[in-house]
Each structure stands twice: as structure tokens, then as C-alpha cells.
């Protein structure tokens, strides 16, 4: 399949708008006509760029972070609607972590927690992957260890195999500029899930097809970063019906009330200390780095007996 590589617009600098911004980042879903499997494709280029810029991630950390954000979107999409999914990849020896937080409306954000004295979160033996999903029955948590030599995709695959009762193949990746400056051209991935009762024939065909597929980065490049084209490539000549199409975008949930609520959890002595200093406390959101100015009178309000 031929496709042109196109430039992506810079990420929305203010993802906190009420209306989801119009982006090329999308999730498309399809079902094979014989009901044997479903496919979910996500293009997350602008979402990943927005989160990477907000967290000032670089190098391998940026790539892992982008893959984790895509993985969180894909895992969320495998579940019933209205579920929020958070995926945390903890660095080896508990040194630093990457957090991806995917919301049902497509808003996705992330956090890079750097280990003390180090710019990068290290990966290798000793990593762990924590998946948390919220739903009607409360929060569900699952911890897996990535297989030896594996990356984010392998860890997510292990999670899906051990926690979800459905056979899944998940792939996430990025396509980088040739000069290797980590200016992401494309970011995305896919999940293929076998439906209960699927016969062996279609299963074998799909398994062989996926094994022969190029890397996600290459697929994204061929598809020009277009989710529909990527879906068409994965399901080439396989009869299927497209089920849905939704938006993904980088954003945040923070507002002054949330900042005050987090301050309210501080020990009383710490709060008193904060009210003594300047009239205004400058505090930034960990996810989007938006600055909030909290007046000391607001802090005093938190100290008032409730």
C-alpha cells in the first residue's frame, strides 16, 4: 500500500478546553464479517506529542511514554464504554515511572516521574506494569512484569492474556524522522481480539497475517498516519464491517478546585506553613504543567474546621 507521510500540526497548547479539539488522532473499530475477531486501531501522534512536550520527555523515555499512552487508549477501547484506564510502567528497581491516563471521552494525559538525579526512567529486568481501570464495579488493578527483553507492547500483551478472558494481540509503536531527533512523525497501534467461539481456521489466518506484518512504525508510515488506512492494511482482503470511530486528544482534568482538593490532603502543619509566606502560592499541574495561583486566603479556608 502506498501512502504519503504528512506533516502533523503542533499539539494543542491548551488541551483543557471544554470541547475536545479536532485532531487527526482517532480510534477506529471493526468486526470481521464471520464474527471471529475484532480489530481496534489507534493513531495517537498528536496526543503523544502533547504529553511528551508537557513532560519534556526525550530519547527512549519519550518513545516508551508514547507507546504507553497508545497502549492505555487501546486497552480502554477493549472495554465497555465509560471506563477510564490508567497504565503505570515502573522503572527497574522502582526507579521512576511513566503514567498514562486514558479517559472515556478520548482525553488522554500522562506523567513522567523521573528517578532522583536521573533524566530517564530506566527499562529492563525488574520493571512492572500496573493497569488500573475504573467501572461500574469499582476500581480493578492488575500488576504484571514485562517479559525479558520485552517492551511496552509485550507487557500489555501479557496483561491482556492474564487479566482479560479473551485472546488478544496488541502492538504499539512510533515512526521517527530519519534524522533520529525523536520528532515523532507518527504514533499508534492496534489490538486484534478473537471472539468467543471463533473457529481455528480464521484464527490461524489472522495469527499468520499478524506475524508477517511489518512493525507498527512501518505500518503507520505506509498509512500516512491515517487510522482508516491502517485498519484497511491490517484487514486487507478480509471482509469486515467498521463499527465505530472516535476522537483521541491530549488534555487534562485539572482546575483550581482539584488543586485545592490536593492541597487539602497535606498535613495541617504544612498548610499553616504555606499560609505564612507569600500572598499567592504558585502551583503547577503535574500532568499539563498549567500554573495555578492559590491565594493565602484560600489556603486559610482549607484550615477552617469543617
Q: Which of 108, 90, 214 is nearest to 155 (CA)?
A: 90
What x-and-dash track marks residues 144-183 binding Zn ion by CB under 5 A? ----------------------------------------
Give the residue with the Cβ less far from Zn ion, 39 or 57.
Answer: 57
Residues in contact with 210: Cβ distance below 8 Å, sequence separation at least 6, in sequence order: 169, 171, 192
Cα–Cα distance, 143 to 192 (Å, whole number):
22
How large is the C-alpha radius of gyration of the chain?
21
* 247-266 positions binding Zn ion, by CB under 5 A: 252, 254
List 194's β-bridge partners, or say none. 37
Give the residue with the Cβ less far from Zn ion, 47 or 144.
Answer: 47
Which grid cell sits at 49?
506529542
- Residue span binding Zn ion (CB under 5 A) among the ranges 71-79, 228-236, 244-252, 294-302: 244-252
Give the residue with the Cβ less far from Zn ion, 242 or 290.
Answer: 290
Cα–Cα distance, 217 to 214 (Å, whole number):
8
Give the residue with the Cβ less far from Zn ion, 234 or 288.
Answer: 288
Please check whether residue 193 is in contact with residue 61, taking contact to mean a CB–CB distance below 8 angstroms: no
Shortest distance (Å) from residue 255 CB to Zn ion: 8
Shortest distance (Å) from residue 301 CB to Zn ion: 22
Kindly state whether residue 107 participates in binding Zn ion, applying the rule CB under 5 A: no
175 Cα distance to chain centroid: 16
Shortest distance (Å) from residue 285 CB to Zn ion: 3
Give the residue with the Cβ less far from Zn ion, 68 or 288.
Answer: 288
Helix (H) or strand (E) holding 141: strand 138-144
Cα–Cα distance, 89 to 10 (Å, whole number):
26
What x-and-dash track marks residues 262-301 binding Zn ion by CB under 5 A? -----------------------x-xx-x-----------
Shortest distance (Å) from residue 288 CB to Zn ion: 3
Interface residues with Zn ion (CB under 5 A)?
252, 254, 285, 287-288, 290
Amino acid at each position: 500500500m502506498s501512502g504519503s507521510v504528512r506533516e502533523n500540526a503542533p499539539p494543542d497548547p491548551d488541551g483543557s478546553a471544554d470541547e475536545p479539539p479536532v485532531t487527526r488522532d482517532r480510534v477506529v473499530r471493526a468486526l470481521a464479517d464471520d464474527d471471529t475477531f475484532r480489530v481496534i486501531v489507534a493513531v495517537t501522534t498528536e496526543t503523544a506529542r502533547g504529553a511528551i512536550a508537557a513532560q519534556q520527555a526525550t530519547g527512549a523515555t519519550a518513545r516508551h511514554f508514547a507507546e504507553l499512552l497508545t497502549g492505555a487508549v487501546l486497552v480502554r477501547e477493549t472495554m465497555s464504554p465509560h471506563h477510564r484506564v490508567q497504565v503505570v510502567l515502573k522503572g527497574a528497581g522502582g526507579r521512576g515511572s511513566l503514567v498514562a491516563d486514558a479517559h472515556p471521552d478520548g482525553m488522554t494525559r500522562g506523567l513522567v516521574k523521573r528517578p532522583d538525579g536521573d533524566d530517564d526512567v530506566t527499562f529492563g529486568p525488574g520493571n512492572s506494569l500496573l493497569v488500573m481501570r475504573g467501572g461500574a464495579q469499582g476500581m480493578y488493578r492488575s500488576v504484571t512484569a514485562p517479559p525479558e527483553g520485552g517492551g511496552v507492547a509485550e507487557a500489555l500483551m501479557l496483561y491482556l492474556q492474564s487479566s482479560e478472558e479473551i485472546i488478544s494481540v496488541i502492538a504499539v509503536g512510533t515512526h521517527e524522522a530519519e534524522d533520529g531527533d525523536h520528532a515523532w512523525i507518527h504514533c499508534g497501534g492496534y489490538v486484534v481480539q478473537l471472539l468467543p467461539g471463533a473457529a481455528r481456521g480464521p484464527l490461524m489466518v489472522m495469527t499468520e497475517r499478524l506475524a508477517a506484518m511489518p512493525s507498527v512504525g512501518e505500518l503507520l508510515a505506509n498509512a500516512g498516519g491515517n487510522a482508516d488506512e491502517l485498519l484497511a492494511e491490517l484487514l486487507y482482503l478480509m471482509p469486515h464491517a467498521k463499527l465505530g470511530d472516535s476522537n483521541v486528544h491530549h488534555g487534562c482534568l485539572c482546575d483550581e478546585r482539584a488543586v485545592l482538593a490536593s492541597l487539602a490532603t497535606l498535613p495541617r502543619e504544612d498548610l499553616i506553613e504555606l499560609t505564612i509566606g507569600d500572598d499567592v502560592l504558585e502551583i503547577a499541574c503535574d500532568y499539563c504543567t498549567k500554573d495555578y495561583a492559590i491565594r493565602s486566603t484560600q489556603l486559610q479556608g482549607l484550615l477552617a474546621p469543617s
